[in-house]
A and B are shown apart, each in its own frame.
Chain A
Amino acid sequence: MVEVSNKMTVMPGLRKIYGRPQSLKDVRTHYCPGCGHGIIHRLLCEVIDELDIQGRTIGVSPVGCSVFAFDYINIDFADSLHGRAPAVATGIKRSQPDKIVFTYQGDGDLAAIGLAEIVHAAVRSEKITTIFVNNANYGMTGGQMAPTTLIGQKTTTTPFGRDHRECGYPLRIAELLATVEGVVYLCREAVDTSARVIQAKKSIKTAFERQMAGDGFSLVEILSPCPSGWGMPPIKAREWLRENMMPQYKLGKFKDTREG
């Protein structure tokens, strides 16, 4: 990610129209070039700024590449053991009900080892929001298969491509959670083009607003490129996401209790 500094002075006569959100720290990222996590962090920060909730938002980071989310997002944060973020967030929200609490989780964290926790947070309709980053593999540990890995996709633990007879089928989290009554707002977005980035931000904002209104559990799944784990350059990764992930993981809104 290119470093964008807010310290840049705006020249007289020019209007500043794009800068770093206030809640995004001015530090260098540890994410790989072309990684989706950086974009999603930024969107979160923009939403936090626009809703003016920096001072009363608490984040829970997962185990995964985004474990250091608190190094970038300048709000209170807890990290959690692998997959347990929704349980930790439950504890926080039940202790601080007037705060806005969210979890930020990868697909290994949420859909594999933490599936029980996310389903039951949804079942209880915890008043928390989950940002679910689906990059079809375990980025942090070196590109192993995740539950979301596509059929035929090569990873370090599926060297011959994922074979459904051995490893089953890709798990569609948004579709799965749509069956849970406790979910109030649920959609799947992607961050491969600027139009979709803008759409993803809208959804994150709505999810937070629904939590703030006290409605219940909201989740935004985001398809996100992982050039390192997929072993391809950033531009190619975006194309791969469009051509391979999107047919499997349809974008759109899966549930909104306000729309009935």
Chain B
Amino acid sequence: MAAIMAGCRKYFAYPITPQNEIPEYMAAHMPEVGGVFLQAESELAAINMVYGAAAAGERAMTSTSGPGYSLMLEGISGIARAELPVVLVLVMRGGPGIGSLENAQLDYFSATKGGGHGGYRNIVLAASSVQELFDLTQLAFELADYYRVLVMLLVDGILGQIMEPIEIMPFSNGKTRSLPAKTWALTGTGRQRPQNIISTMLMREDETYQWHQRMAVKYQKIQAEEVRYDSYCLEDARIAVVAYGMTSRVAETAIDECREQGLPVGLIRPISLFPFPYQFISQYTHRIEGFLVTEVSMGQMVEDVRLAVNGRSEVSFVGRGGGLLSHQEITRGIRELWLKLATK
């Protein structure tokens, strides 16, 4: 719904649990706004349909999960090379292979560090509530158009299933940026302009080098300007829990519980996973003695937190390979870290 509000008119996907609500919603509502919903014959096809629609200048998106995402990687890599604005919703599920439908945060590495071949980056955003997912979906289209990149919404399984009330409002992030006209789009020259070419090749002499140089500048700009995060009870904290997505809300409950017992603990919640809020985290290392990273995985984002902390504070981890992390598990992790710091 947020996607349609954001002007998305082209949606291509292949059914996969747990995100079937999206194509089913699109099937029912895209016709109302004159948009296109098309069920592709596979994810391989779906991502390439998105490639085509985006190349033609449309706001296009797709959504998938685990195995479908793996199939899409070829196309995602191509979209990155062609610098097409695309929005992709990835609802994570459990485990490699067909895996399971369990709640998980196992695709952090693949989403933020490339996934496909060739050394590209996508903007990756993670919401912690239905409202935020709604808002970020609208932001995603804006960022995609502004930077000509693929923006991925990385969604935990349970965020894909939960229902909460939201306010349906056009999204505004304060800045109104003027989006560049899509002069590169394939709309037919009309014999008025030189041909436009959208390509995923870099075959010409020096082209590979040039492309990566140019992307480095773009990715640096994104890292400078698009870092997003949130925090909770951080003002006087000596321990910070770092969590993204739904897990951060479980962490909030654990933090409330620990605060009642007098433990000075707060929360850092990265919203943009690429660009990762390294700076924001590292500025706290003088005051925060311990960081507890918690994820529904065996430890992925924790590596980025270690990079940010760079040995200046303790970093510990609480996680599980899939399912639902309880606040008690996080509370236990906080207490253990607190004891460890006290005995140091």
Contacts and interface: CB of A to CB of B under 8 A. Distances in A.
User: Is chain B in direct contact with chain A in the complex (CB below 8 A)?
Assistant: yes
Interface of A: 63, 67, 79, 81-83, 108, 112-113, 115, 138, 140-142, 144-145, 147, 156-160, 166-167
Interface string B8-23: 0000001111001001
The binding surface of chain A is classed by DSSP as: loop
- The 4 tightest CB contacts between A and B, nearest first, are A113-B42, A112-B41, A144-B15, A141-B15
Nearest to B37: A157
Contacts of B34: none
Q: Which of B16, B27, B67 is packed against the most chain A CB atoms within 10 Å?
A: B27
A84 to B, nearest CB: 10
A81 B39 contact: no
B16 A141 contact: yes
Interface in B19-54: 20, 23-24, 27-28, 31, 37-39, 41-44
Contact of A67 (B15, B24, B41, B98): B98
A19 B121 CA distance: 60
Contacts of B37: 157
A156 B27 contact: yes
A235 B38 CA distance: 32
A3 to B, nearest CB: 27
Contacts of A79: 98
Q: Which of B28, B37, B42, B67 is packed against the most chain A CB atoms within 10 Å?
A: B42
Contacts of B311: none
A145 B37 CA distance: 13
Contacts of A147: 41
B20 A156 contact: yes
A68 B98 CA distance: 12
Interface in B38-76: 38-39, 41-44, 67
Contacts of B97: 81
A108 B39 CA distance: 12
B15 A115 contact: no
A169 B44 CA distance: 21
Contacts of B20: 141-142, 144, 156
B23 to A, nearest CB: 6
A81 B24 CA distance: 23
26 contacts: A63-B67, A63-B98, A81-B97, A81-B98, A82-B42, A82-B98, A112-B14, A112-B42, A113-B41, A113-B42, A113-B43, A113-B44, A140-B17, A141-B17, A142-B15, A142-B20, A144-B15, A144-B39, A147-B41, A156-B27, A157-B24, A157-B39, A158-B27, A159-B24, A159-B28, A160-B31
Given A82-B67, A113-B41, A144 B98 contact: no
Contacts of A157: 15, 23-24, 27, 37, 39
Interface string B98-117: 10000000000000000000
Contacts of B67: 63, 81-82
A82 B44 CA distance: 12
A167 B15 contact: no
A93 B31 CA distance: 47
Contacts of A145: 39
A151 B203 CA distance: 45
